[in-house]
Amino acid sequence: EAGVTQSPTHLIKTRGQQATLRCSPISGHTSVYWYQQALGLGLQFLLWYDEGEERNRGNFPPRFSGRQFPNYSSELNVNALELEDSALYLCASSLKGWLNGETQYFGPGTRLLVL
């Protein structure tokens, strides 16, 4: 069974540009989560999508946004990139996010570098 996939693997952008990151969940999973892992800041929750709806959002500015498509894949968009957005962005999926404590399975991540 295929795991969570993310694309691209690496992304290099300049300040002010927009970045789009993509994630495909494990087959049968309806919930997708996004986390940011910046150097020295640990793993920070960004967004949670379930059944096409945004269910929860972390403490990030509105320029971080996303969506979930009918096939449950998801996109994370980061507008007006800043240097501090450079990080590893991890996507995870779970069977049913509304059941508290569902195991989240992670993808390999997208490394975003903002110059």
**Which residue stretch of 11-19, 45-53, 63-71, 78-86 sits at the interface with other proteins (rule: CB under 8 A)?**
45-53
Alpha-carbon separation of residue 12 from 46, 48, 77 (angstroms): 20, 25, 14
**Which residue stretch of 19-27, 61-69, 72-80, 102-110 sits at the interface with other proteins (rule: CB under 8 A)?**
102-110
Query: Token pair for residue 20?
Result: 């789009």
76 binds other proteins (CB under 8 A): no
Rounded Cα gap, residues 18 and 37, in angstroms: 19
In the numeric block, the tokens 């996109």 are attached to 75
Name the site residues for other proteins (rule: CB under 8 A).
31, 33, 42-43, 45, 48, 50, 55-56, 58, 88, 90, 92, 97-101, 103-109, 111
